[in-house]
C-alpha cells in the first residue's frame, strides 16, 4: 500500500539543487507574505528554538507514514545543514549543541568552549543581554548536553552537577525537565557533594515544581519582577512518551506552553529552547516505536509553539535536529512498502519488553506480541531468545515489521533538515552549516553574538 512520503523528499531535492548561500548574509526579503510564510523584514521579538535530538529526513518520512498525514513542520521546510564537529566528521550532542548555540565548532564532548578552551557566548545569552527572558525545556535531564550548550561552559558534558551549578547562577528564567539528582546533595540521594541547588534556586527567586499538576498551577510567575520557574519532574530523565501515562510528569507540549506563558510576560520578548531529547535515545536503541511516539510528542510541542507564533505575529519558530541517530531508513528489504503506521499499536519500549523476559526467554513471543499487536514467526522468537542484547533484537523485529531500517546504533553524519515559521523565516533557506543558525538568529534579533 502506498504511503505518502513525497513532500520532504521533493523539497529536500529542491533545496540541495539550489546554490549554497551563507545563511547569515543579508538577503532580499519576501515582501507581503504575512507572518506564516516567510514574511519579509517583520520584527522578531521572540525565538522558540526547537531541537528534536537525533532527528533527520528519514525520521520525518517515517513519521508521516506513522501519522498518516503531513507533520505540522512539513509545510515549513527551508533548507538543510551539515553537522560535523571540530574534531570529528560525526558530531556528538555537546559539540552540535555548542555549534547551534554559539556559532562555533568545538570538539565532541565539550560544551560552551572552543577547541582551545575559551568560553563562548550563546544566542540565548545575547538575547538576555538585549533584555529578553529565557528558558530551557527538555525531556532528558535538564543538565544534558543540548540544553546545557545554551548556558554552560564545561570541558566534559558528563559534569552535569557543574552544569546545574552554572544554571542556578545564570540569568535563565525557566528550567523544565528531568534531573533532580543533579541539583540535590548526596545526603538527599543526589549527585552534588553538599550543595542543595533546589534550595538555592528557591532562595534566588525560583518557584519549584515537581509534578504536572504543580507546573500547570505555576504559570502566574512574573518574570518582569524577577520571578523564575524551575521544574524537575524526575530524579533522572523523564519517561519515554510510550510510558508517560504511568507518571505524574508533564508532556513536552505542556512544558512548552507553560514556558511560553511565563516568558511572554516580558515586554522585551523571550528566547526559549525546547528539546525533544529522547528521539535520539530511541535511535541509539533502534527502537522505531519509541522514536515515532517521541516525535509525536515533539510535534505537539511544535504545534503549541506555532499556534502561539500565529497569534503573536512577532515570534519565529525554528525546528532542526542536532544530528541523525541510528541511520534510520524509510523502508527496508526489497520494495517491501512502508508500514510505520503499525507502530501506533506498540505500547512499550524494547527495553521495557526485554525487562519482562524470564531467565530463558521462553516467554519472548508472549511478551512481544502483548505489547506490539504483532504475530511473531518462530525465527523471530529465536532471534530474540539467542541475542546477546534482547532489547535490540526485539527492536529489530518490530522495525522489520514496520519496514524501518537502521544502519547504526550511534550518530551519523547525515545532513539535517531545518524548518522555520514566522517573521523572517525565509532567511533559513538554502544549504549551510549548523553554526550558521545562531548567526542568523543574531542577525534577525540584531543582537551581538561575539565569538
Distance of CA 258 to the CA centre of its chain: 17
- Kindly report the number of other CB atoms within 10 A of residue 400's CB atom: 18
Residue owning grid cell 543533579: 182
Query: Which of 60, 82, 45 lies closest to 7, judged by CA?
Result: 60
Q: CA–CA separation, 188 vs 194, rounded Å?
A: 9
HSE (side-chain half, CA atoms, 13 Å) at 337: 10
Q: CA–CA separation, 379 vs 149, rounded Å?
A: 45
Which positions are annotated as active-site residues? Answer: 93
| Strands 315-320, 416-421: pairing kind | antiparallel
268: which 3 cell numbers?
A: 522585551
Q: At what angle do helices 364-372 and 390-401 cross, to 10 degrees?
A: 50
**Cβ pair 123, 449 in contact under 8 A:** yes
Q: How does 242-257 read in b/e, with b if 16+ C-beta sit within 10 Å?
A: bbbeeeebbbbbbbbb
CA distances from 42 to 17, 313, 438, 447 (A): 28, 9, 18, 16
Q: CA–CA separation, 39 vs 395, rounded Å?
A: 43
Q: Is 378 exposed, middle or buried (0-12, 13-18, 19+ CB in 10 A)?
A: exposed
> Residues for the chain: how many in total?
451
Angle of CA points 399, 325, 100, to nearest 5°: 150
95: which 3 cell numbers?
A: 559539540
- Kindly report the number of other CB atoms within 10 A of residue 368's CB atom: 26
Q: CA–CA separation, 392 vs 408, rounded Å?
A: 12
Q: Is residue 284 helix, strand or coil?
A: helix
Q: Is 220 exposed, middle or buried (0-12, 13-18, 19+ CB in 10 A)?
A: exposed
Amino acid at each position: 500500500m502506498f504511503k505518502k512520503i513525497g513532500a520532504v523528499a521533493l523539497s529536500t531535492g529542491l533545496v540541495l539543487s539550489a546554490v549554497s548561500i551563507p545563511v547569515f548574509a543579508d538577503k532580499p526579503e519576501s515582501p507581503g507574505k504575512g507572518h506564516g510564510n516567510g514574511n519579509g523584514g517583520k520584527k522578531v521579538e521572540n525565538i522558540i528554538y526547537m531541537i528534536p535530538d537525533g532527528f533527520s529526513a528519514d525520521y520525518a518520512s517515517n513519521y508521516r507514514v506513522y501519522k498518516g498525514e503531513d507533520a505540522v513542520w512539513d509545510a515549513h521546510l527551508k533548507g538543510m545543514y551539515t553537522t560535523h564537529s571540530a574534531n570529528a566528521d560525526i558530531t556528538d550532542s555537546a559539540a552540535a549543541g555548542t555549534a547551534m548555540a554559539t556559532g562555533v565548532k568545538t570538539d565532541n564532548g565539550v560544551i560552551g568552549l572552543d577547541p582551545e578552551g575559551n568560553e563562548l557566548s550563546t544566542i540565548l545569552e545575547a538575547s538576555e543581554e538585549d533584555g529578553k527572558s529565557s528558558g530551557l525545556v527538555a525531556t532528558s535531564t535538564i543538565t544534558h548536553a543540548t540544553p546545557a550548550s545554551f548556558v554552560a561552559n564545561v570541558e566534559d558534558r558528563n559534569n552535569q552537577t557543574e552544569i546545574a551549578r552554572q544554571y542556578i547562577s545564570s540569568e535563565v528564567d525557566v528550567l523544565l525537565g528531568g534531573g533532580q539528582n543533579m541539583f540535590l546533595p548526596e545526603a538527599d540521594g543526589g549527585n552534588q557533594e553538599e550543595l542543595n541547588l533546589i534550595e538555592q534556586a528557591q532562595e534566588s527567586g525560583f518557584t519549584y515544581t515537581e509534578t504536572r499538576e504543580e507546573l500547570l498551577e505555576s504559570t502566574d510567575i512574573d518574570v518582569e519582577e524577577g520571578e523564575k520557574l524551575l521544574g524537575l519532574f524526575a530524579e533522572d530523565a523523564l519517561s519515554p512518551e510510550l510510558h508517560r501515562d504511568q507518571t505524574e510528569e508533564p508532556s513536552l507540549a505542556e512544558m512548552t506552553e507553560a514556558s511560553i506563558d511565563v516568558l511572554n510576560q516580558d515586554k522585551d520578548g523571550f528566547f526559549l529552547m525546547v528539546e525533544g531529547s529522547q528521539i535520539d535515545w530511541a535511535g541509539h536503541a533502534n527502537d522505531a516505536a519509541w522514536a515515532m511516539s517521541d516525535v509525536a510528542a515533539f510535534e505537539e510541542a511544535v504545534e503549541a509553539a506555532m499556534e502561539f507564533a500565529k497569534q503573536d505575529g512577532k515570534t519565529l519558530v525554528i525546528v532542526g535536529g542536532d544530528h541523525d541517530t541510528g541511520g534510520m531508513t524509510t523502508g527496508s528489504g526489497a520494495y517491501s512498502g512502508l508500514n510505520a503506521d503499525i507502530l501506533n499499536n506498540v505500547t512499550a519500549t524494547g527495553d521495557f519488553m526485554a525487562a519482562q523476559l524470564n531467565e530463558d526467554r521462553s516467554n519472548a513471543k508472549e511478551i512481544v506480541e502483548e505489547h506490539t499487536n504483532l504475530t511473531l514467526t518462530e525465527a523471530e522468537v529465536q532471534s530474540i531468545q539467542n541475542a546477546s542484547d534482547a532489547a535490540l533484537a526485539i527492536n529489530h523485529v518490530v522495525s522489520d515489521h514496520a519496514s524501518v531500517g537502521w544502519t547504526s546504533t550511534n550518530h551519523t553524519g547525515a545532513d539535517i533538515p531545518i524548518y522555520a515559521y514566522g517573521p523572517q523565516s525565509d532567511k533559513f533557506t538554502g544549504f549551510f552549516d549548523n553554526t550558521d543558525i545562531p548567526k542568523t538568529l543574531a542577525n534577525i534579533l540584531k543582537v551581538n553574538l561575539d565569538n
